[in-house]
C-alpha cells in the first residue's frame, strides 16, 4: 500500500494546521504521511496548541513551523487549507489530486486570561478533531479518496 501525503496549510503554521496534523496523523495511521506548513510561517508552534493537544494525548512538542515552499518539489496527494488566507495563495503541488478547504477560527487571536484563551484553543481543537478524525478514519477503512 502506497503511503499518501496530505499537506495541511494555514497562514502561520503555528496552531490550526498543527492541531489538524496531529489528529490526522493519529487517525490515518500508516496509510498517510501527514505534514503541515504555512504561507507565512510564524516560526514557532504556539505553546497553547502544544498544551491542549497534550491534554488529549498527542505530542506536538517536536513540531516546527515550516514554509509551504519546503513541499513545492515533493509529491503531495491532498492539500487541505484550514484558513482563508492560505486557501487564496495555495499553489498546486506535484502529484496533487485533491484540494479541500475546511476553515477554522484562529485560536492564536484569542484574548483574555490564559484560562479564557485555553477555552478557545480547546473549542477549536475539538472542532478540528471531529473533522480530521473522521477524514482519517476513511483512510484506515480504505474508503477515503
Residue 33 in this model has a pLDDT that exceeds 80: yes
Residue 83 bears catalytic tag: yes
Residue 116: HSE in the Cβ half-sphere, 13 Å Cα cutoff: 5
What confidence tier does 107 reach under pLDDT thresholds 50, 70, 90? very high
Sheet strands side by side (includes 98-101): 32-38, 4-10, 78-81, 98-101
- The CATH fold of domain 4-134: Rossmann fold (3.40.50)
Q: What integer is the mean pLDDT of 71-99?
A: 89
Given 45, 58, 83, 118, the catalytic residue:
83
Residue 15 bears catalytic tag: no
pTM score = 0.93
Residue 145 in this model has a pLDDT that exceeds 70: no
Straight-line distance from the first to the last Cα atom of the chain, in angstroms, rounded to the nearest whole number: 14
Give the DSSP letter of residue 4. E
Given 7, 76, 80, 90, the catalytic residue:
90
Residue 13 in this model has a pLDDT that exceeds 60: yes
Given 6, 7, 9, 10, the catalytic residue:
10
Amino acid at each position: 500500500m502506497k503511503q499518501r501525503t496530505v499537506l495541511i496549510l494555514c497562514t502561520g503554521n503555528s496552531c490550526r494546521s498543527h492541531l489538524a496534523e496531529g489528529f490526522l496523523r493519529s487517525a490515518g495511521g500508516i496509510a498517510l504521511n501527514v505534514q503541515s506548513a504555512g504561507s507565512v510561517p510564524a516560526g514557532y508552534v504556539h505553546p497553547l496548541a502544544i498544551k491542549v493537544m497534550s491534554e488529549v494525548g498527542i505530542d506536538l512538542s517536536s513540531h516546527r513551523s515550516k514554509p509551504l515552499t519546503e513541499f513545492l518539489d515533493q509529491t503531495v496527494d491532498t492539500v487541505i487549507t484550514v484558513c482563508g488566507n492560505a486557501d487564496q495563495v495555495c499553489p498546486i503541488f506535484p502529484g496533487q489530486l485533491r484540494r479541500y478547504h475546511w476553515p477554522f477560527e484562529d485560536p492564536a487571536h484569542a484574548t483574555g486570561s490564559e484560562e479564557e484563551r485555553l477555552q478557545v484553543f480547546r473549542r477549536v481543537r475539538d472542532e478540528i478533531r471531529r473533522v480530521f478524525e473522521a477524514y482519517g478514519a476513511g483512510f484506515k477503512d480504505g474508503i477515503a479518496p
